[in-house]
Structures are given as structure tokens and as C-alpha cells.
Chain A
Amino acid sequence: MQQLLNGIFLGSIYALFAIGFTLVFGVLDRLNLAHSAVFSTSAFVGIELVTRAGLSIWVTLPIIFVFGGVLGLVIERVAFRPLKDRHDAHFAGLISSIALGAMFLALLQAVFGPDTRRFPPDAFPRQRIEFAGSTVSVLQLVIVAVAFALMVGLTLMVSRSRLGRGMRAVAENPHAARVLGIDVDRITALTFALSTALGGVAGVLFALNVNSAQISMGTSIELKGLAVIIVGGLGSLPGAMLGGLIVGLAEVFAVAYVGSSWRDVIAFGLLFAILLLRPQGIFGARKVREI
């Protein structure tokens, strides 16, 4: 039971990270590999805000949301928009986002140094609660609540709001969207911003969960994120949520019962299996490009 809960907590962070990833892929057909750099950077900046500026976590999270969004605008403008009409746009976008992400991480190291950072010990409540025979901390509950609130909010926004309609139109057919008078460039930038805003919050939540942040924290979660979005279905928001939970749970149970060094095999094994058996993922509707 304890493991189940731990899996849910870990999984909800994975889901929050992945949902931004899949949003950009679903709407813009681009894989943004600088997403993990936003994740790491936001964690450090979040810690800094709490430690140095003494802000409470409730104020920091919205600030990070905006900060992540701004990073997304930069990424879109620098790494993706100039490549828009190139015929190798997919591949080039992968490389340019890798490059920009590496630059972000280098800058991160310049500002914060190479060491691990932690939150100050009194930054958040430390109570623990008994629940169905296991212990959960208030912090973990808060993390899950925030993650779910954001993801549900995003899903509602995409399915109900005007902006969401515009994004879905661009996702289906950017030319048709343009004919309708939609400013596709602006929607693209907003989609990126939204995606990295969520990724940034995921970074802070993750740092809270393990109470540490390192420069390399993005790499491992990036790979997990890829696994999550493939398993859940590229471009599917509920897929990212469900996929995140699945991967999180699988990982926790694998560590508990098989051994921690096998942890990552689960994610990649699942990934590989899904790509072979059902490449569109659990909820995916996009046809896997075969030609």
C-alpha cells in the first residue's frame, strides 16, 4: 500500500512533466528536448526564491509557472521558429532544442555552481498522516493536488476554451487554421509557453519531493517523460496522465521487489514494447508515420 501511494506521488510528477511534452508534440508535431532543461532550471530558481527571497512555496509556484512559460517562448523563438519551413524540420528541431537545453544547463551551472541545492528545512509543513496503514506526508499530498489541478485545468482549457479550440485546430491542420484567421505563430508560442510552464512547476515539485536539485536531474526524467508520452499516446493529454501514473507505479514496485538498479528498465521496456505492439500508445489517435 505504501508503495502504491509512493507510486502515485512519483507518477503524478512524471505526468505533469510529460503533459507539457505531449502538448507540444500533439499540437505542433515537434519534440522539444529542452523541456528537461526548463525542469532543472525551474527547480533551482524555485529553491533560490524560497531560500534567498524567503517566499513561501505558494507564491513561488505561480512565479515559476510564469518563469517556465517565458523560457518556453524563448525556446520556440530561437530553436523552432527559424526551422519552420525546412524540409528536415523534425530532425533539426530535435537537435536545436538539445543545443539550447545544453546552453540553459551550462548557464545554470554558471549561476548556481555544480553542487546540489536543497530547500531550507522549514520551507514547508512536515506533518505526516496515517492513511490505510501507510504514512504520507502533507507535502506529498500537496504535490499530487497541485499536479492534478494543473493537469485537469489544462485538459479543461484545451477542450472548452477558445484558446484550446485554436490549439486543436492548429493540431489538426495548421493551414486550415490559418484560413480561419487564426494567428498560428501566436498559438504556437502560447502552446510552448504553456507546456514549459507546467514543466517548470513539475521541476519544483520534484525538487520538493526529494528535497534536492542537481543539474543532471533533467536527463533521467527526460527519458522517463519520453516513455510516458509514448505509452500514453503522443499528443494525448489523458494519455500523459495515465502513462505517468503507470510508469511511476511500475518504477516504484520494481525498486521494491526487484532492485533499484533495474528501475529504469521498466520505463524503457514498456516504451519498447508499446512501440512494437501498439505504437500509437494507449490513447493515441495520431497515425504513426509509416511513410
Chain B
Amino acid sequence: MLEFVDAYASTITFMALTGVFAYSFYAVLVAGQLSLAQAGIASAAAFTSSLAVPAEPLFGVVPRLVVGIAVGMSVGAFLAFLLGLPVMRLRGVFLAIATLAFGEVVRILLINQSWTGGAQGLSFPKLVGIPQAWLALAAVAYWFWRLGGSRLGRAFAAIREDELAARAMGIDVSRHRMTAFVTSGAVAGLYGVMLAYFVRFAEPNAFGFSAAVDGLVTAVVGGTIFFIGPVLGSTFLTWLPELQRAIGVEAGWIRPFVSGLLLLLVILFLPGGLAALIPHRRRGIMTPPDAPLDLPALPAPGTPIASLRAIRKDYGGVHAVHEVDLDIAAGEIVGLIGPNGAGKTTLVNMLSGLVPPSGGEGTVVGIPLGSGVPAHRIALAGVSRTFQQIKLFNRLSALDNALVGAHRVSRPTMLRRLVLLPSARRDEKRALGQAFAQLTRVGLADRAHLPAGDLSYGDQRRLEIARALAAHPSLLILDEPAAGMNHVEAHLLSVLIRALAEDGVTVLLIEHNVRMVLETCTRVVVLDFGEVIAAGDPATIARDPRVVEAYLGAEDDQEEPA
């Protein structure tokens, strides 16, 4: 065994280091972003550390490598922060290209500095061997393992699955994306320093586009959903050439060909990467923990919840919503009806902060509406919603969906989880209790462990409601929750909504199922062509000829077709 280790010491070390590098990609991919700047950042970290690492242990005690790592990770985090600031608004391909460009600029800047040795590179003392590399990998893997069950990790996963829904649950997407970026930079810095002190050499050109692609490939092959992915990826890809050499494959082109082929096969047929092959221990039906959350009281009946005056939304020349006045008081169940295209969803998007009004004034749970007010702020103030097209976090379990919903009322636990503090466990349990309570309320407690995407349509609609309820909202907005339901299901939904109102939740309900609205709501507002055409109690509205006309067409028309 020992001979094996000796013979392959280099490979074993590389395996750990490429794993670390892959984690720097994983760090951003968990949050749904593709950043390719890690290679450039790694090289900057390596070279900067060469300036800072003393010839002797610091203060006679601190090992030189530790100093190097501290410097490297700080540089990496700082560069990532600098990069993150301007590119935060970009998504997808644009983000990838921008980060790639940044990485290249760093590389070129470094090549042209004399203190980096230019294209010749710098030599480094050998400070890294198998133990140091694996310790680093273990530390990084530990971090991401602890991230998995934390509120922060769930927020990342939510942003990855559906950014808009994450916003609506109170998650500050920009801040979270920046956190992911900075983490990625720090890990890339760690990699750069460790690599330099292992190979005893670094030159900027080794950290170019190809290196970035290699790191990305490792992360993707390993899998970007479970924390063990990068380790699997680096194991597989580091040993692959050794394997090929062992079975006699020497030719220079076969190895890159096989790597490319494998990557292609993985991305086409194994979207979750190698980690998806591991049988994930499916949690069966769970029992809820007995840990009540201390929740603030909901507003007393009659308290003003939302108030809109002459609110408007224009798209180009079209008045989607035109001079609407609306008041909602605590304890009400307000129904919003109207034909297709009447402006109901636009109105609700303004109330939940997803879209700023073009004119008029509005206040929701004490927050004035305007273009500077992000949706997550309104969500954090107590407004929760569901969406017309179901926007669940499909790959997360029903329970995890509800837990994301509880973001607002649960406390951050990541840092405490790292040191395994029991108070973190207690807070997690409380959040779990809240999530479970909501699932029970909508009748999904026995399906808590199932992935949201696998649930039946009716269950998905109810899960969206449970998720929204987990935030303990003052105002719950439901956008066509009964769509596609038959009479029985719609009736059960109506019963649930009325029960919620009795618990003190104010509800705003958009629905096409007029029968259900009349059965459920205390007050009905009718919208057509962006304007309120009628408002009042359900019975009056049902008899109002204007409402009938808006839906069915006019009783008699002037023009009769020939």
C-alpha cells in the first residue's frame, strides 16, 4: 500500500487540489451562476502570496504555508468581490463571458508584471504534500457539507431553481449571489496558493481559459447539486489518464478525446453528474419535531394592510392597469376577478413588489411602493404569494420548499453549523416545525419528503400555498390557485382559505372560477381593461350586469353579422 502511495504521491495530491479547484466552481454553480474567473483569481492569489510569505515561519510559530493561504484566500475573495459588483446584474451566458474576460485580463496583467516573473514564472518552495492538500480538500468539503442543510444553502438552491420565487420568499438575491461569488474566489485563492507551493512553480499562462474550462468540467462531471460532487469529479478525471496509461493507451490525442467524449456523455445523459449516481437515501415519511417557533401576532382585524390610490402600470402605450383604487384591511378575503388580460396579475405584481408602478401611490404592509423597492423587502415585511404558473423549486423536496418559505421567520445557522453549535440545531428544528405545520395545514404532511416536481398538480398548488404560509405573512396573495381544479378540489381549497382567514391571515385571491370566488370571499373587486368596474359583496357582484357582460359578452349588440 505504501509503495502505491509513494509511486502515485503526485497524482494523489493533484486529485485533492483539482477537487479544491472544482469546489470553487461548485460554490457559484449551487446558486445557479456560471463564473469562469476562478483560474485568473487563483493565479493572482498564488503570485500575491509569493510576495507575502516570509522566508521563516511568522513570529517563529505560524507556518509559512498558513500565511500564504491566508493571503491567497483574502486576495481571492477580494478580487471576486470586485468582479461581482459590476457583473451582479448579468445572467447566464453574459455572466459567464464577463467573468471569463475578467479572468483573462487578470492573467495578462500578471504576465506583464516583473514581480511575477512574467512568462518565465516564479519558483516557489515546496510546502505542500499529500497531507496538506487533503486537509485543504477536507476543510472545503466540510464547509460545503455544512452548507447543505443550512438556511443559506437552501436559499442558494432556491435562487438556482427559480430566482423570482426566491425573491418573493424574502431572499435578497443580489446579496446571496455576491456571497457565492466571494466564497468561490476564496476557494480559488486557496487552490492557487496550494498548487504553486506544490508544483514549486507558477506562471500566469497556466491559469488561462483552458484551465478554467478544466475546472468547470471537473465540477460538472462530478455534479453540482450534492456537496460530494467535486470530489467525485476530481477523482474520476485525475485517475482517468493514469487508467489509460495503465491499459496501454499512450497516444497524445486519445486522452483528450476520451475526456471530451465522457464530458459529452455526462452532460447529455447524466445531468446531475456522477453524484447523481449515488443512491440518495430517500427520507421516508417523517415525524414533525416538537419545537414551536415564536411567531409575532398577526395584525388585528380592520388594520389597513394595503392601500392603492390611482395606481397605474403602462407598457409602451398599453394601460395594463389604469387608475385603480384599492384598500385591503386585515381579516378580509378579497377576491379579484375579471376576464383574461384585465390586469389582475399586473396589479398583484405591483402589490408584491415584482413590478414598480408607473404612477399613483401605494402602500403595502407599511412600505410605500416604488421602483426602488425590491420584492424581497416587501416579502420580508409580511407579504407572501403564489403564482399563476406554479413556481415551485422542483428539485427540492416539499419540505425544503416550505423551509425556503420560512426564510423570513427563521434564523441564519451556517456559521454556527460549522462549529456544530447545538443552538443551530435548535433553530433548524424550529424552522422545520414551522414548515411541517404548514404542510399539515394544507394536507401534505405525508408527502413532505417527495421532490416538488413529482407531486400531482393539485398537490403542487397546495404546496405553493404552504410555502407562502411558512413565512407567516400578514397578506397572502393567491394567483389563480384553483386553475385546473374540478369542483370538489376547488371547494376544499375554498374551505382552506376561509380557515386561514379565521387564523388571522388576510387573503387576496385572483380567480377565474367565479363560483369559488363568490363562495370564499368577503369582498369582490372586478377588473376589466385595467380598471375597476365593480366592487362590493359577492351577492351583489354576482347580479351585476356589467360583470356578466365583461365575462360573457354583451346581451345585445348593435352590429349583427350578415
Interface of A toward B, CB cutoff 8 Å: 25, 31, 78-79, 82-83, 86, 88, 90-92, 94-96, 98-103, 105-107, 109-110, 114, 219, 222-223, 226-227, 230, 259, 261-262, 264-265, 268-269, 271-272, 275-276, 279, 288-291
The answer to whether A109 and B268 touch across the interface, beta carbons within 8 angstroms, is no
**Separation in Å of the B208 CB from the closest CB of chain A?**
8
Q: Which residues of A contact B210 (CB under 8 A)?
A: 219
* Chain A CB within 8 A of B239 CB: no
Q: Which residues of A contact B101 (CB under 8 A)?
A: 223, 226-227, 268, 271-272, 275
Q: Which residues of A contact B92 (CB under 8 A)?
A: 90-91, 289
Do A106 and B257 form a contact, CB below 8 Å, given A261-B108, A290-B91? yes
**Separation in Å of the B81 CB from the closest CB of chain A?**
15
Q: Which residues of B contact A268 (CB under 8 A)?
A: 101-102, 104-105, 108
Do A226 and B220 form a contact, CB below 8 Å, given A106-B253, A106-B256? no
Do A102 and B91 form a contact, CB below 8 Å, given A110-B251, A272-B105? no
* Chain A CB within 8 A of B271 CB: yes
Q: Which residues of A contact B102 (CB under 8 A)?
A: 268, 272
The answer to whether A88 and B90 touch across the interface, beta carbons within 8 angstroms, is no
Q: Which residues of B contact A88 (CB under 8 A)?
A: 271
* Chain A CB within 8 A of B525 CB: no
* Chain A CB within 8 A of B100 CB: yes
27 CB contacts below 8 A, A to B, read A25-B93, A82-B268, A88-B271, A90-B93, A94-B96, A95-B217, A95-B220, A98-B263, A99-B217, A99-B263, A100-B264, A102-B263, A106-B255, A106-B256, A109-B252, A110-B251, A110-B253, A110-B257, A223-B104, A230-B97, A265-B108, A271-B101, A272-B102, A288-B94, A289-B91, A290-B89, A290-B91
**Separation in Å of the A175 CB from the closest CB of chain B?**
15
The answer to whether B271 and A92 touch across the interface, beta carbons within 8 angstroms, is yes
**Separation in Å of the B210 CB from the closest CB of chain A?**
7
The answer to whether B213 and A98 touch across the interface, beta carbons within 8 angstroms, is yes
The answer to whether A94 and B34 touch across the interface, beta carbons within 8 angstroms, is yes
* Chain A CB within 8 A of B216 CB: yes
Interface-centre pick from B90, B210, B254 (highest chain A CB count, 10 A): B90
Do A102 and B259 form a contact, CB below 8 Å, given A94-B34, A275-B87, A291-B164? yes
The answer to whether B93 and A31 touch across the interface, beta carbons within 8 angstroms, is yes
Summed over the interface, the residue pairs from A and B with CB atoms below 8 Å come to a total of 127
The listed residue (A25, A96, A290) touching B264 by CB distance below 8 A is: A96
Do A276 and B94 form a contact, CB below 8 Å, given A105-B256, A219-B210, A261-B112? no
* Chain A CB within 8 A of B98 CB: yes
The answer to whether B253 and A107 touch across the interface, beta carbons within 8 angstroms, is yes
* Chain A CB within 8 A of B500 CB: no
Q: Which residues of A contact B97 (CB under 8 A)?
A: 226, 230, 271, 275
B 90-124 contacts with A by CB, 8 A:
90-94, 96-98, 100-102, 104-105, 108-109, 111-112, 119
* Chain A CB within 8 A of B286 CB: no
The listed residue (A82, A114, A290) touching B252 by CB distance below 8 A is: A114
Do A99 and B260 form a contact, CB below 8 Å, given A261-B111, A272-B102? yes
**Separation in Å of the A116 CB from the closest CB of chain B?**
15
**Separation in Å of the A126 CB from the closest CB of chain B?**
33
* C-alpha gap A289/B94 in the complex (Å): 8
* C-alpha gap A183/B291 in the complex (Å): 58
B 294-308 contacts with A by CB, 8 A:
none
**Separation in Å of the B167 CB from the closest CB of chain A?**
9
Q: Which residues of B contact A102 (CB under 8 A)?
A: 256-257, 259-260, 263
**Separation in Å of the B395 CB from the closest CB of chain A?**
10
* C-alpha gap A173/B340 in the complex (Å): 22
Q: Which residues of A contact B93 (CB under 8 A)?
A: 25, 31, 90, 94
* Chain A CB within 8 A of B206 CB: no
The answer to whether B163 and A291 touch across the interface, beta carbons within 8 angstroms, is yes
The listed residue (B34, B94, B100, B260) touching A103 by CB distance below 8 A is: B260
The answer to whether B257 and A99 touch across the interface, beta carbons within 8 angstroms, is no
User: What is the chain B residue whose CB lies nearest that of A107?
Assistant: B257
* C-alpha gap A111/B9 in the complex (Å): 35
Per-residue CB contact flags for chain B residues 507-533 toward chain A (1 = under 8 Å, else 0) read 000000000000000000000000000
**Separation in Å of the B217 CB from the closest CB of chain A?**
8
The answer to whether A264 and B104 touch across the interface, beta carbons within 8 angstroms, is yes
Q: Which residues of B contact A291 (CB under 8 A)?
A: 91, 163-164
Do A92 and B209 form a contact, CB below 8 Å, given A103-B261, A110-B257, A289-B92? no
Per-residue CB contact flags for chain B residues 222-255 toward chain A (1 = under 8 Å, else 0) read 0000000000000000000000000000011111
* C-alpha gap A246/B254 in the complex (Å): 39
Per-residue CB contact flags for chain B residues 323-339 toward chain A (1 = under 8 Å, else 0) read 00000000000000000
**Separation in Å of the B333 CB from the closest CB of chain A?**
30
If A95-B217, A96-B267, A261-B111 are given as contacts, then 14 extra A-B residue pairs at C-beta distance below 8 Å, sorted by A number, are: A86-B271, A100-B260, A100-B264, A103-B257, A109-B252, A222-B209, A259-B112, A261-B119, A264-B108, A265-B105, A265-B108, A275-B90, A276-B86, A291-B91
